[in-house]
Structure 1
Amino acid sequence: MTRVGIYTHDFKFYHDIIKELKRWNLPFFSIPDLYSIPGDINVILSSEQDPFTLPGQIKAVTATEGIRRSLPVLLNKSQFTRVIIGIDPGPRPGIAVMSDNVLMEAWECPTICGVKDDVLDVVKNYSYRYIMIKIGNGDRPNRDIIIKQLKNIAPMVIVNEENTSTPHKIHDNALSAARISLIDDRYDTSRTPVKFSRKNIYDKEFITLHSLI
């Protein structure tokens, strides 16, 4: 198992990065000194304000930026080949990031106005050769607003989001966005696991970052 190393003199960054790593459910190790770096650490997160340079170090302004930039390294890559941002349009849009067919993250944006900033952060913070946006064809009024917001940020296609909201008892917009990110024609309902819960639906249906680390 690979862990994320943390070494920084920036107390706020240290606090933020630990909080975010726990939220992402990623294993990490707080390095007490540079003579005590475990062998399972191949990336070290530090603040952009830190004056030192280390092998395998990623300096970041924010915790989320640091984590996103570390993801390829955690999967033994220098960068992802293909990143797809899936979007489930609506008043509370779902957003998901699929990198080389592995689900990195998925969340619900509180308002439609926040979609552009969220997508821009993904475009800026991930490391990749190619990136594109897939947006579901539902909720046309909100979909058209989102498309207008995201114009010229990355190549974009509209896909058939039929069946991405099933089963209704567990549906959430982030889950639909993850499904949309994988659609070429329409969502294959055979992917939906027979037994699942709200807690494990992502790990049962997708290859997730957590399952590979």
Structure 2
Amino acid sequence: MPRVGIITSDFRFYHDVIKQLRLWKIPFVSLDLKGSIPDDVVVILSSIRDEIDLPDQVKAQDGIDGIRRAIPRLLNKTMFKDLIIGIDPGPKPGIAVFGDDVLLEAFECPTVSSVRKFVDSISMSYSYENIVIKIGNGDKPNREIIINRLSDMDISIEVVNEKNTSTPHKIHDNALSAARIAQINGLYPIKRIPVKFSRKNVYEKEFVTLKNVIEGTGAAERRGTNST
């Protein structure tokens, strides 16, 4: 299973990146310059304030910035070909990010006015060739506010039909709806929605997630080792 290595003398960055890696459930290991780097460490995270330069190193402002910059390396890429940001408009908009059809993150914004800040952060931290924003056609007042706030960004914005993205209503989740909106080409296929699921496992059941891919890579490596 690929891991992130952390080498930094920036105390604040160190604690922030560890906190975020745990929240994102990304495997990591703390390293120092005196020791060797394990074979399963595919990227080294350091602070932009660190003066050291290392192979496979990513320097970042903070934990989330570092994770987003490191994710392509965890997936054996230097960058994504296509990054899609899905937005479910509403008083507390949902945001989801897909890189080459892998769900990287999904969360709920506290306010409509905060969407621009999050989209700015996402677009600046990830590495990609192409980027697009897909926003659902519901909640017209909030949708128009969001589009207006994003309109001066150099990112294409598509308004898509969000029918079926809130099913079932009893488990409605703005971040989940945003993930579905990001995957829309026409209408979201109702058959993609699992018959049985919970808030805890719906993302893993419905999408290819970052967690799935990282753990799957590790499983494939173990199978390969066992077969030799």
Structure 2 SS opposite 1:83:
strand
Deviations 1:190-211 (A, max 9, x none): 0011221110000000000000
Sequence identity percentage: 59
Partner of 1:123: 123
Deviations 1:44-86 (A, max 9, x none): 0001111110111101111111100111111001110000000
Partner of 1:36: 36
Q: CA RMSD in A?
A: 0.8
Partner of 1:9: 9
**What are the equivalent positions in structure 2 for 1:126-141 lying under 5 Å apart?**
126-141=126-141
- CA separation in 2, counterparts of 1:22 and 1:42? 17
Deviations 1:152-200 (A, max 9, x none): 3210010000110011121110000000000010111100112211100
Deviations 1:94-125 (A, max 9, x none): 00001100000000000001000100111111
- CA separation in 2, counterparts of 1:209 and 1:198? 17
Decide whether aligned partners of structure 1 residues 195 and 147 sit closer, same or farther in structure 2, where only a CA change above 3 A counts.
Answer: same
Partner of 1:170: 171
TM superposition shift of 1:34: 4.0
- CA separation in 1, counterparts of 2:42 and 2:142? 42
Higher helix share: 2
Partner of 2:102: 102
Partner of 2:222: none
**What are the equivalent positions in structure 2 for 1:24-63 lying under 5 Å apart?**
24-63=24-63
Structure 2 SS opposite 1:169:
helix
1:88 matched to 2:85: no
Where in structure 1 are there 5+ consecutive unaligned residues? Answer: none
Structure 2 SS opposite 1:5:
strand
Partner of 1:74: 74
Give the letter aligned to residue 82 of structure 2: R
Deviations 1:1-27 (A, max 9, x none): 100000100111000000000010100
Partner of 2:218: none
- CA separation in 2, counterparts of 1:142 and 1:136? 11
Which segment drifts farther, 28-37 or 195-204?
A: 28-37
Q: What TM-score do the two structures reach when normalised by structure 2?
A: 0.92
Give the letter aligned to residue 3 of structure 2: R
- CA separation in 1, counterparts of 2:170 and 2:13? 39
Give the letter aligned to residue 52 of structure 1: I
Give the letter aligned to residue 117 of structure 2: D
- CA separation in 1, counterparts of 2:201 and 2:50? 38
TM superposition shift of 1:36: 2.6
Where in structure 2 are there 5+ consecutive unaligned residues? Answer: 215-228
Structure 2 SS opposite 1:90:
coil
TM superposition shift of 1:33: 3.6
After the TM superposition, which parts of structure 1 deviate over 2 Å for at least 4 consecutive aligned residues? 32-36
Structure 2 SS opposite 1:107:
strand
- CA separation in 1, counterparts of 2:195 and 2:164? 15
Give the letter aligned to residue 152 of structure 2: N
Give the letter aligned to residue 42 of structure 1: V
1:187 matched to 2:188: yes
- CA separation in 2, counterparts of 1:196 and 1:30? 36
Q: What TM-score do the two structures reach when normalised by structure 1?
A: 0.98
